[in-house]
């Protein structure tokens, strides 16, 4: 089924106005994309922090309309709805429908992290190496939630969990995955020997994705919105969220980590780790930094 697609450049401060106008004139869907997607100054946006909806400073809003929609009529309607927006920058084209999820899954291949951890798409055959007796295999369908293992922040946390298991510090223990996304980290921990995993996320879709992926793997993960999360401490905590959220939630994450417990935090761009190391030194010893590409993981032990 074809569509009429409208694309318009937009700044962060005007995004809500532009999106409201597009929805008011009948847009079937509105998506956002970094205006510098192919440029060297691309601004990375990934898993939002708790209570945050981060956006690019400059973006392109793309709206889909029925194929028989009249472009001139749409422009007139948009101008009438919000004349303060420069709608002359809008560009129209006919596009064919396609199975976007299918296309994405075709590019999502099995990945190995550390010595034993494998993330395998639910529709993909297991590689021979992932069929070894001690392999920890997570079957994953990320759905609409963040976390497939392809981003360095997730990869850093998966490698940390694998190493923790190799040292015997995960077996039979409980884990808190704060900002659980697709549930990938909690599931990996369970596959590596954790006794129980709890997932917390501010996005209801993430809780659905986590529960679905847990069921797909024959496991159970208790999931909560932040306001519903039981207040208690865990021997293992992992938080793959934005640096600004890690800073704001420092006291919370410290309280969620029991004495002697381990924590790993990612979602930190290189250059942001200094302030976080200083912040978390109030509660944690043995703070260490690992890096992959432009992303940082901080780990430590609760004092």
Angle between helices 184-191 and 204-216 (to 10 degrees): 30
Which segments are annotated as binding site for S-adenosyl-L-methionine? 154, 179, 201, 240
Which segments are annotated as binding site? 154, 179, 201, 240
Residues 282 and 295: their CA atoms lie apart, in Å, by 23
Give the SS3 label for residue 292. strand
Residues 120 and 148: their CA atoms lie apart, in Å, by 9
Nearest CA-CA partner of 216 in 137, 103, 100, 155: 137
Residues 49 and 192: their CA atoms lie apart, in Å, by 26
Residues 244 and 45: their CA atoms lie apart, in Å, by 13
DSSP state of 38: T
DSSP state of 69: -
Residues 182 and 143: their CA atoms lie apart, in Å, by 7
Pseudo-torsion of CA 187, 276, 273, 249, nearest 10°? 40
DSSP state of 14: G
The sign of the dihedral angle between the CA atoms of 121, 215, 194, 156 is: positive
For 212, phi then psi, to 5°, come to -65, -45
243, 265 contact by CB (below 8 A):
no
């Amino acid at each position: 089924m074809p569509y009429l697609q409208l694309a318009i450049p937009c700044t962060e401060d005007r995004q809500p106005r532009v999106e409201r106008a597009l929805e008011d004139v009948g847009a079937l869907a509105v998506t956002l994309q970094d205006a510098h997607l192919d440029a060297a100054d691309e601004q990375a946006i990934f898993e939002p922090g708790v209570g945050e909806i981060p956006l690019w400073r400059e973006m392109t809003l793309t709206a889909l309309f029925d194929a028989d929609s009249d472009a001139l009529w749409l422009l007139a309607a948009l101008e009438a709805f919000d004349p303060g927006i420069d709608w002359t920058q809008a560009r129209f084209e006919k596009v064919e429908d396609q199975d976007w999820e299918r296309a994405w899954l075709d590019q999502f291949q099995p990945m190995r992290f550390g010595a034993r951890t494998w993330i395998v798409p639910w529709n993909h055959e297991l590689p021979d190496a992932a069929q070894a007796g001690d392999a920890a295999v997570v079957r994953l369908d990320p759905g609409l939630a963040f976390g497939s293992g392809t981003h360095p922040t997730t990869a850093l946390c998966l490698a940390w969990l694998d190493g923790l298991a190799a040292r015997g510090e995960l077996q039979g223990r409980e884990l808190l995955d704060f900002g659980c996304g697709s549930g990938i980290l909690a599931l990996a921990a369970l596959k590596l020997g954790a006794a129980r995993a709890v997932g917390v996320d501010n996005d209801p879709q993430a809780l659905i994705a986590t529960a679905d992926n847990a069921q797909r793997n024959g496991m159970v993960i208790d999931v909560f919105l932040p306001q519903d999360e039981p207040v208690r401490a865990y021997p293992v905590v992992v938080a793959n969220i934005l640096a600004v959220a890690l800073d704001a939630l420092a006291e919370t994450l410290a309280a969620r980590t029991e004495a002697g417990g381990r924590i790993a935090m990612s979602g930190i761009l290189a250059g942001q780790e200094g302030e976080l190391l200083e912040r978390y030194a109030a509660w944690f010893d043995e703070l260490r930094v690992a890096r992959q590409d432009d992303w940082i993981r901080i780990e430590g032990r609760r004092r």
